[in-house]
């Protein structure tokens, strides 16, 4: 898949997010727009799209930084939805709210992220800077997945796309880490199929799920 095709696909998701934000006008939708915008720049850097990556010394580190910003924007989107939605809907007795399940889910995802980092990244021969950056990013994507799963309980219905979107995003980034630090995915076509076969659905599910909330 060419860089232009990849960027067109993620660009269309960004346009869809902007349309939803323009109609709904909720803070979490604008944060999702920002997340998809940072993701687009990260995709451009990692795909070697010359107009974006041509003047960048290390496109991989810059791409990781762009995606780190995307994870922060997603976290802010899900956090703001967990704060704002209970004010819009009367609570139904016996139902959970996202803020109530977040602590347990956050701890679970962070432990998974740390375990993955220790097993896959910690003993890799790459530089300490790159491994440290991978740790920070791993904790961010784990936190994003936890917030996404928690935000699924925020609205009047269970927004399951948020749960699956967060998990698929983690899987996609884990595949990149396995290839980068352990060189486990040598077949370029298989690697691209795994990464993009999980990454694009992850972004689409997160957008769909946050749209379900309100």
Of the given ranges (93-97, 155-159, 201-205), which has the lowest mean pLDDT? 93-97
- Residue-wise pLDDT for 67-97, tens only, equals 999 999 999 999 888 877 665 554 554 455 6
Residue 185 has pLDDT above 80, yes or no: no
Q: Is 25 left (phi over 0), alpha (psi -120 to 50) or beta?
A: left
Percent of the chain with pLDDT over 70: 90
The secondary structure of 18-47 as a DSSP string is HHHHHHH--HHHHHHHHHHHHHHHHHHHHT
| Residue that is written with structure tokens 């999980």 in the block | 198
Asked if 88 contacts 97 with a C-beta cutoff of 8 angstroms, the reply is no
The secondary structure of 130-158 as a DSSP string is HHHHHHHHHHHHHHHHHHHHHHTTSSSS-
pLDDT of 53 reads 67
Asked if 180 contacts 137 with a C-beta cutoff of 8 angstroms, the reply is no
Residue 1 has pLDDT above 70, yes or no: no
Report d(CA 26, CA 20) in Å as an integer. 9
Residue 120 CB: number of other CB atoms within 10 A?
A: 18
The set of residues, in sequence order, having a beta carbon less than 8 Å from that of 147 and lying 6+ positions away, is: 74, 75, 78, 79, 82, 102, 106, 166
**pTM of the shown model:** 0.89
pLDDT of 140 reads 93
Would you state the structure tokens that stand for residue 173, as one six-digit string? Answer: 């980034």
Residue 24 burial (CB < 10 Å; 0-12/13-18/19+)?
middle
Asked if 21 contacts 210 with a C-beta cutoff of 8 angstroms, the reply is no
pLDDT of 98 reads 65
- Residue-wise pLDDT for 121-142, tens only, equals 887 888 888 888 888 998 999 9
| pLDDT grade for 48, boundaries at 50, 70 and 90 | confident
Residue 152 has pLDDT above 70, yes or no: yes
Report d(CA 102, CA 150) in Å as an integer. 5
pLDDT of 159 reads 84
Residue 133 CB: number of other CB atoms within 10 A?
A: 18
pLDDT of 162 reads 92
Asked if 36 contacts 14 with a C-beta cutoff of 8 angstroms, the reply is yes
């Amino acid at each position: 898949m060419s860089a232009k095709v990849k960027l067109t696909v993620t660009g269309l998701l960004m346009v869809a997010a902007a349309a939803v934000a323009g109609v709904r006008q909720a803070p979490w939708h604008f944060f999702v727009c920002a997340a998809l915008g940072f993701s687009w720049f990260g995709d451009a850097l990692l795909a070697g799209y010359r107009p974006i990556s041509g003047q960048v010394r290390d496109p991989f580190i810059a791409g990781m930084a762009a995606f780190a910003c995307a994870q922060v924007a997603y976290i802010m989107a899900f956090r703001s939805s967990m704060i704002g939605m209970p004010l819009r809907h009367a609570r139904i007795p016996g139902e959970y709210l996202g803020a109530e399940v977040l602590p347990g889910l956050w701890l679970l995802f962070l432990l998974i992220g740390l375990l993955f980092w220790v097993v896959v990244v910690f003993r890799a021969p790459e530089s300490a800077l790159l491994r440290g950056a991978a740790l920070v990013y791993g904790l961010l994507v784990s936190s994003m997945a936890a917030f996404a799963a928690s935000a699924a309980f925020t609205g009047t219905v269970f927004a399951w796309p948020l749960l699956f979107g967060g998990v698929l995003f983690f899987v996609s980034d884990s595949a990149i880490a396995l290839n980068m630090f352990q060189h486990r995915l040598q077949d370029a076509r298989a690697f691209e199929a795994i990464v993009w076969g999980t990454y694009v659905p992850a972004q689409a599910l997160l957008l769909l799920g946050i749209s379900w909330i309100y």
